A and B are shown apart, each in its own frame.
Chain A
Amino acid sequence: MKIELRFFASLREALGVQQESITIPAQVNTIADLRSHLAQRSDVWAEVLGNNKVIRCALNQQMVDAGTLLEDGAEVAFFPPVTGG
Chain B
Amino acid sequence: MANTFIRIQEADFDLTTEITNLRQGDLQVGAVVSFLGTVRDMNEGSQVKAMTLEHYPGMTEKALHDIIDQAKTRWDIRKTLVIHRVGPLLPEDQIVLVAVTSAHRGEAFAACEFIMDYLKTAAPFWKKEETPEGGRWVDARITDEAAMARWRKK
Residues of chain A lying within 8 A (CB to CB) of residue B137: 9-10, 13, 80, 83
User: A-B pairs with the 4 shortest C-beta distances?
Assistant: A84-B125, A81-B140, A9-B126, A61-B59
What's the nearest-Cβ distance from chain A to residue B4, in Å? 17
Cβ B95 vs Cβ A8 within 8 A: no
B residues at A contact (CB < 8 Å) = 37, 53-56, 58-59, 62-63, 84, 95-96, 116, 119-128, 137-141
Cβ B59 vs Cβ A83 within 8 A: no
Chain A contact-residue range equals 10 to 19
Number of A-B contacts (CB under 8 A): 72
Residues of chain A lying within 8 A (CB to CB) of residue B124: 8, 58, 77, 79, 82, 84
The residue in chain A whose Cβ has the minimal distance to the Cβ of B96 is A85
Bound Cα distance from A50 to B84, whole angstroms: 31
Using A77-B59, A84-B120 as known contacts, list a sample of 18 further A-B pairs with CB atoms less than 8 Å apart, ordered by residue number in A. Answer: A9-B54, A9-B128, A58-B59, A58-B124, A62-B62, A63-B63, A77-B56, A77-B124, A79-B124, A80-B126, A80-B140, A81-B140, A82-B121, A83-B137, A83-B141, A84-B126, A85-B119, A85-B120
Given contacts A8-B124, A58-B124, contact A83 B139 (CB under 8 A): yes
Q: Give 1 or 0 for each of A49-68: 1 = CB within 8 Å of chain B CB.
A: 00000100010011100000
What's the nearest-Cβ distance from chain B to residue A66, in Å? 17
